[in-house]
Amino acid sequence: MYFSPRIPPNTGNAIRIAANTGCELHLIEPLGFTMTDKQVKRAGLDYHEMAHVRVHPDLPSAWESLQPTRVFAFTAQATRFYTDVDYQPDDVLLFGPEPTGLPDEVLNDPHITNQLRIPMLADRRSMNLANATSVALYEAWRQHGFDGAV
């Protein structure tokens, strides 16, 4: 799940990630682009038809639709590593917009189960959004034996 994504190519890359892993991609408005934006299309290549993408008007609408049991918010301020979690198939991985990350009101939302971080060298601010998504998603999928992969 991307909260208010701003950079079209990152969302396009996330569409490819979703198509290649079988995950759903949920986008929370406002978006910093339209889904017909050329940069989104270009980054997603021909994977748009293979990915399940849903756009929600706001975070409460997404919670209502998904009814999540566990939500992991990714933030550079977290103390727990993303590898410290035993992921379940219906977990929601929540990422914030570049360059700000998730705002405090989202990080403190009662639906958030825990905040997680991807380790980086000192004095580094953040990873690219699509890259961070790949790192976390593939760890969760690995824990489940890459179910469905060839």
Looking at the whole model, is its pTM more than 0.85?
yes
Residues 81-109 have pLDDT tens digits of 999 999 999 999 999 998 899 999 999 99
Query: In this predicted model, what pLDDT tens digit does every residue of 135-146 receive, in sequence order?
Result: 999 999 999 999
pLDDT (0 to 100) of residue 43: 52
Which residue blocks in the chain are alpha helix, DSSP H? 8-21, 38-44, 59-66, 104-107, 129-143
Q: In the beta sheet, which residues pair with residue 56? A: 28
Q: Any residues with CB less than 8 A from the CB of 144 and at least 6 apart, and which? A: 87, 89
Task: Quote the percentage of the chain above a pLDDT of 70.
Answer: 92
For residue 122, the enclosing domain spans 2-143
- Whether residue 45 lies inside any domain: the answer is yes
d(CA 17, CA 66): 20
The CATH number of residue 34's host domain is 3.40.1280.10
What percent of the chain lies above the pLDDT cut of 90?
74
| Residue at 150 is within a domain | no
Task: Please report the pLDDT score of residue 33 as a whole number.
Answer: 82
Domains identified in the chain, total number:
1
* Both structure tokens of 62: 């997404």
- What per-residue confidence (pLDDT) applies to 36? 73
For residue 149, being part of any structural domain is answered with no
Instruction: Give a yes or no: residue 148 inside a domain.
Output: no
Of the candidates 52, 41, 50, which has an alpha carbon nearest to the alpha carbon of residue 13? 41
Over range 2-25, report the average pLDDT.
92
Distance CA(144)–CA(146), nearest Å, equals 6
In this structure, is residue 16 part of a structural domain?
A: yes
- Residue with structure tokens 């219906």? 90
